[in-house]
Amino acid sequence: MGLLEFNRRVLAQAENTSVPLLERLKYLCIVSSNLDEFFEIRVAGLKEQIKVGAVSTGPDGMEAAQILRQVRDQAHQIIERQYQVFNNELTPALAEQGIRFLRRTHWNEAQQAWVKDFFLREVMPVLTPIGLDPAHPFPRVLNKILNFALELQGKDAFGRNSAKAIVQAPRVLPRAILMPPEISGCQYGFVFLSSILHAHVGELFSGMEVLGCYQFRVTRNSDLFVDEEEVKNLRVSLQGELPQRHFGDAVRLEVADNCTPEIAEFLMQQFDLGPDDLYRVHGPVNLVRLMRIPDEVNRPDLKFQEFLPGMPPALQKKGADMFKLIRKGDVLLHHPYQSFRPIIDFIQQAAADPQVVSIKQTVYRTGADSAIMEALIAAAQRGKEVTVVVELLARFDEEANINWASRLEQAGAHVVYGVVGHKTHAKMLMVIRREDGKLKRYVHLATGNYHPRTAKLYTDFGLFTSNEEVCSDVNQVFVQLTGLGKASKLSHLWQSPFTLHSQVLRAIQNETRLAKDGKSAQIIAKMNALLEPEVISALYEASNAGVKIDLIVRGVCALRPGVPGLSENITVRSIIGRFLEHTRIFYFRNNLAHDVYLSSADWMDRNFFRRIEVCFPVLDPKLKKRVIDEGLKTYLQDNSQAWEMDGDNNWHLKVTRSATPKCAQAQLLQDLSGKMADTPDKA
């Protein structure tokens, strides 16, 4: 339920009139994208539990069937509100700005002619209509693909009298097509692909009458299953599973509001779904595909102002020697406000440097086009020892990771897939360089992925260091991932699944003891999710002892703040803004030691016990202060985009009308980024 509540907060961004108009449309699309994954993974998982008769309950004591009923109710409410915003708020507001969605029922003759020509040239050649009869059973409908169910009347050339047909919308075509201004009559006139098909689908069934044409889309179980006990080669096994992702069990059916009850019932039967799994939407099915519209509209005044990521002064000189800079002292980068470029430069310099003998890196998500991966391949081709721990089970990035693994192996790199049963989620990069006859290590550790595109959209910290003890710890973790043996004791890093959980508990309990001794005690933690029961219990105990606890949790939080006698000293807030909050920061006052840790891990069971994660300290006092100021204090002062949770787990937007507006992300953009791009005049 917490994930759905998070989506309500994202939906609120689409409702917020202070957000630029085209960005509001993006937020609406993000809600659809998030819901897709929610159904593909979470709802699919609940259905699987019910299917096998599992009786186990969750932390709240509810069984899977009870949770599923609540999920459906909440999802229906969110989707209904989403389309209300699209139809009643965004569509009219966009039309006022000369950005119109041209409905089929309002086309004039010139527009009708343009649409027909477009259909015959671009759409009809790639369509495959399937008439349903004994020789043509209901087709295997792909996951999340727009389709049309047709009701027909009459006989075809073979005398067949099929009453139904299915047409799949081509994936190669956008869902909203830009019509020339001289035809549309406005600056930006878009016509939906669904409208084009509605108007001309009869061309596919010559001599027959189309009685009805109805959009539908099915969402399927997309979680991949690999038998960890039987698997001999994880990559080969996964390659065999990937094609089946498109044809997993159906979990949701979306239909347009004009769909007849008979056709809806027919489709539910085909997908073995019930009425509660049917989502009737008042507009285009699959709003996700409208995400491209802002990119096609040249109206900077309706978008967030562009900015140039900043660069720390020491890195501003082009071609700066990364190794020399890191030897001088640790380097901290705060993305997206600061550039991701130094990480790429570091790897590219390492690949080209004849003194570098070895590069080791973990890869969770990196994208299909990656300068980092190309640099690793180049390093291997130059004869360097390159070891890459590729997480093949990074959800929805499996195919890209398999492709990179193949290319790395072909270049001569050592490629391993971590530990079966534990996802490698740690973000680590180590370079070993020969200097003055000795080998010296350089390390980059991060809270986010080595992915240049998401580094522009997600907030994350990255730390470069040549600290011998930290580098030794990172080396030990790599040894665990590539070899065999007992876990070694680490000097500074906390690691899942071995020490992270116990160390977090120890740090919380230490603050509890300090508070009981009459000393000031404080915990501030920022993460994506908080669910692990023992950590929550320890936080409750700390609160009762007088520890001041501020939690910044983007998504799901099972802790109840502000409850008398339980959590009076705990606050929970969530920041939803231009960038996706992704940083994990753990601060413990520790009797004025001010311990600061950055991590790849949330406080969840899976991160503590079923993943390879690292949590690393910020040791440099100046950088430690930066993390506290930029990553924590600024967010606790936010009164513009902050949501606060009450003791009943309800979220409320915290907007203080009387106070000076403070927006954490806007402040960090101002303080850390390069010069904001000038806003051009309207196109």
The one-character DSSP state at 63 is B
List the structure tokens of 449. 């992925």
Peptide bond into 497 cis (omega under 30): yes
Can you tell me which residue has the tokens 């020892």? 385
- Single out the residue of 531, 605, 579, 603 nearest to residue 1, CA to CA: 531
417 φψ region: left (φ > 0), alpha (ψ -120 to 50), beta (else): alpha
Three-class secondary structure of residue 359 per DSSP: strand
**Interhelix angle for 398-411 vs 234-241, to 10°?**
140
State the catalytic residues: 425
User: How far is 332 from 343, CA to CA, in rounded Å?
Assistant: 11
Three-class secondary structure of residue 365 per DSSP: coil
Beta sheet of 99-101, edge-to-edge order: 99-101, 188-192, 176-179
User: How far is 486 from 290, CA to CA, in rounded Å?
Assistant: 51
Can you tell me which residue has the tokens 């009387």? 658
List the structure tokens of 544. 């009762």
> For residue 19, what are the contacts with CB-CB under 8 A and spacing of at least 6?
13, 27
List the structure tokens of 530. 């908080």
CB 462 within 8 A of CB 451: no
53 φψ region: left (φ > 0), alpha (ψ -120 to 50), beta (else): left
User: How far is 86 from 63, CA to CA, in rounded Å?
Assistant: 35
CB 255 within 8 A of CB 215: yes
- Cα→Cα distances 347→88, 341, 353, 413, Å: 49, 10, 10, 15
List the structure tokens of 354. 């004849």
Find the Cα–Cα–Cα–Cα dihedral 653, 654, 658, 663, rounded to 10°. Answer: -100
Can you tell me which residue has the tokens 């929610």? 38
CB 461 within 8 A of CB 585: yes
